[in-house]
Amino acid sequence: MSKSQLAGTAEILRASQKDEEYMRYMRNLLADITQRCLGIPFWMKWKDLSNTFSDAVFFSLTTLSGLQTLGEEYANIIQIDRNLKSIPSKWARFTDVSLRTFGCYFLLKFQTWIENQLSSLPQAESNDDNTNIANLKIYLPIVFKAISVLQRIHLIAFYLYGNYYNISKRLTGINYLVIRRWLSHPDQQTSYKVLGWIAATQLFLSLAINMYAISSKPSVSVKKKESNSGEVVNSKNQCSLCFEKRSYSTATPCGHLFCWSCITSWMQNKEECPLCRESFPPSKLILLQNYY
């Protein structure tokens, strides 16, 4: 392994993009099966878990089985341990796949659970307890925002130094080696370093703007869907995806109405109307103002 060459940023990105194409195909395939067998409302409820399960199947058939992914085969790279002496152990590969597929899913679920718990807390008797709860509601989003900032810092480090495109790879120490050295392009690393410095500048400016916004006014959530048990939802103001009262009614080019969050989530997987199947890009969605 003394003459081996670590894969560069270009090879790793090319492999990741190719894997994402196949993973997206598997997600759409599983989504179509789920919608046909169990219905659209069921799929909308478990969409995130469905995508996570699809990704887990993809990596189980490739990485966990000791094989290259389709993207790695396309880019002519292979996984290697941190010592650059052998392929990663089964435990390292299992940890990498688990963190990559289920890490973000459970983190988002934990964030939602924490926010729901805080919002459902009863009014405390003492002012000190009320102050503590209020502080938690204020600073908890900042903590989760810091996690996303760390992800961006990790991506900047990848553009500057290469090696680790996924955080799971960095934690497990899994690197990539180029199988055919004559196909690699080490000179392309310079352009990615420029991209890394641009991303670092953008991150610094966005943090400065966010800090100014937090100090000047509280953040406002895009959507809060509250349903009253005594309120009757008729067909005129009902979303056909979630079957609840529409929130931020949005029209498609074919004239159907949905919740903004429902139809945008749908469009992430299929760029077509859920009812009549007319194809259109997400930019054609129209958010209706003062319409209920």
Tell me which residue of 177, 210, 216 sits closest to 72, measured CA to CA: 177
Task: Write out pLDDT tens, residues 164-184.
Answer: 888 899 899 899 988 876 555
The answer to whether 75 touches 12, Cβ cutoff 8 Å, is yes
Residue that wins the pLDDT comparison between 216 and 64: 64
The values of phi and psi at residue 79, to 5°, are -75, 145
Which amino acid is residue 176, in one-letter code? Y
- 3-class DSSP state of 78: strand
Chain CA centroid to CA 256, Å: 28
The values of phi and psi at residue 78, to 5°, are -140, 145
Is residue 217's pLDDT more than 80? no
Tell me, what's the pLDDT at 53?
A: 92
Task: Write out pLDDT tens, residues 112-154.
Answer: 787 777 777 665 555 555 666 666 766 777 777 788 788 889 8
Largest CA distance in the chain: 72
Is residue 188's pLDDT more than 80? no
